[in-house]
Structures are given as C-alpha cells and as structure tokens.
Amino acid sequence: MVDPQGWTARGSIQSLRPSMAVSQQREEMQTKQEIQNTTSVIISFTDSYAQNKQGKQNEQPESESLPPLSEVGSTLLSLRNQIEMNKSYKQVILIPKLLQSLVALSFYKIGNHIDLEVDQQRIDVRSWSRACLSWIQSFGDEQVQQELVRQGYGRVMSLSFCTSGGVGEEQDAEIRDGLYRISRFLNQLHEGRNYPQPSFQPLPLLVRSTEVQIEEEGAIEEIDAQMKN
C-alpha cells in the first residue's frame, strides 16, 4: 500500500529544496553586496588619505575630504567579521585595490597624544586593518599567500609590533599578536598547510621574499629581542 503521509512528507521536502536554494542565493548576494559596500568605504578613504598626504587635494582640510575615523574603524571591524564568519576571502581578494588599501591602513599614522580619543581611533584603524589581513591569510589558498607577499605582508607583520600602539597590556597584546602572526605565516610557507583551511605545498620563494621584507624594515633585531622577553 502507498503511504499517503509518506508521499506528502517526501513531497514537502522536495518542494522545500527550491525555496532553500533561493534563500541561500539571496543570502550570498546580500553578503556580496555588504562586502562591496564595506570595501568601497575603505578604498575611498585610503585613496583620499593618500592624496592628502601628497598635497593633491587642492589644499582642502583633511576633515572635509575624509570620513570620521570612528566610521572607518567600525567599517574595518565589519569587514573583519564578514571575512571571519562567512569565510569571504575569495570575494575579498578579487576586489581591486582592497589588499593594497588594507596594507596602507596598517601603517596609518598615530598622533601626538594631544587628543587621546583620536589617537585610539587611529590605533583601531591600524589594528583592524591588520586583523583583516590576518584572517585573509588564515583562510587563503596559495594564490592569496602570493598576493599578500606581493603587497608587503611581511612589512605589515614587522611593523605591527615595532610600532605597536597603546600602553601596558594593550601594547603587550599587540606585540604578542605580531610575533604570533609572523611565526605562523613563515611556518606555513616553509612547511605547507594541510587542514580545514585551504591547503598548499611549501612555498620557499615566498619565505625568502617575506624574510627580505622583514629585514628591510630592520625588524630582525626587534623580533630577536621580543622573543627573549
């Protein structure tokens, strides 16, 4: 005998599949749009910041051409969360100028400590930029590792503790994070990687390129000193 309820259950499941696929597609499109909106703010800010530094903004005050630092910091934090939660590095890596912008913001200037709130916002911009790059590296395949090195990821990691912001425990934490990222990155490039994140074979040429970047920043001695502390 045919079980009508069985047929109904199977029919219900089958009818749900198209709607689930549509829902998933909508979520993916929404995530993609959110990333595009987020990254456009970051890239635009970096371009304006670079133009201001070079004096090519028709002598306009910086405050008129750049969005508030607090907005940039929250945007970077949002991007970091999007990469971490959705593993959206593949979308991110394809966005022109984004990695270049994140690298540039990793070296964002720290003020003269007259306005501590603004100084903290600048520190946040640098820290969240470096965090975005770190998550991209964690989830990235061989192509991503190559692009990171090409954009100067070794310099980013070196200066992340050589020019660490904050004081006391906050500064110590940033130094520890910088040392950990350098160690992890070099180990993965040297030995390869084979676990749930995308695997890749050893990449000795990238190891050497990264070491050169670290040496050029004069960070070898700093690393040795911090490792002894």
pLDDT digits (tens, 9 = 90+) for 51-66: 887 765 455 555 456 7
At 149 the pLDDT is: 96
Residue 175 confidence class, pLDDT cut points 50, 70, 90: confident
| CA proximity to 38, closest of 116, 164, 103, 132 | 132
| CA proximity to 80, closest of 118, 137, 145 | 137
Choose from 6-10, 63-67, 105-109, 160-164 the range with maximum mean pLDDT.
Answer: 105-109
Whether residue 133 contacts residue 156, with contact meaning beta carbons closer than 8 Å, is answered with yes
Residue 168 confidence class, pLDDT cut points 50, 70, 90: very low
**DSSP 8-state assignment for residue 211:** H
Query: Which of the pair, 187 or 17, is modelled with greater confidence?
Result: 187
C-alpha 207/C-alpha 154 separation (Å) is 10
| Token pair belonging to 78 | 């949002």
Q: State CA 70 to chain mean position distance.
A: 18
Query: Which of the pair, 3 or 95, is modelled with greater confidence?
Result: 95
C-alpha 157/C-alpha 205 separation (Å) is 18
* pLDDT value at 166 more than 50: no
**DSSP 8-state assignment for residue 115:** S
| Token pair belonging to 162 | 């050589």
Give the largest Cα separation in the chain, rounded: 85
Q: H or E segment at 113? A: none
At 28 the pLDDT is: 65
Q: Give the model confidence (pLDDT) of 14-32 as tens digits.
A: 655 666 666 666 666 777 7
Residue 209 confidence class, pLDDT cut points 50, 70, 90: very high
Whether residue 42 contacts residue 98, with contact meaning beta carbons closer than 8 Å, is answered with yes
86-90, 91-95, 165-169, 178-182: segment of lowest average pLDDT: 165-169
| CA proximity to 151, closest of 223, 229, 95 | 95
State the Cα torsion 66-71-73-74 to the nearest 10°: -160
**DSSP 8-state assignment for residue 193:** B
Residue with tokens 């990155």: 185
C-alpha 41/C-alpha 48 separation (Å) is 11
Residue 93 confidence class, pLDDT cut points 50, 70, 90: confident
At 116 the pLDDT is: 83
Whether residue 199 contacts residue 193, with contact meaning beta carbons closer than 8 Å, is answered with yes
Radius of gyration (C-alpha) of the chain in whole angstroms: 22
* pLDDT value at 169 more than 60: no
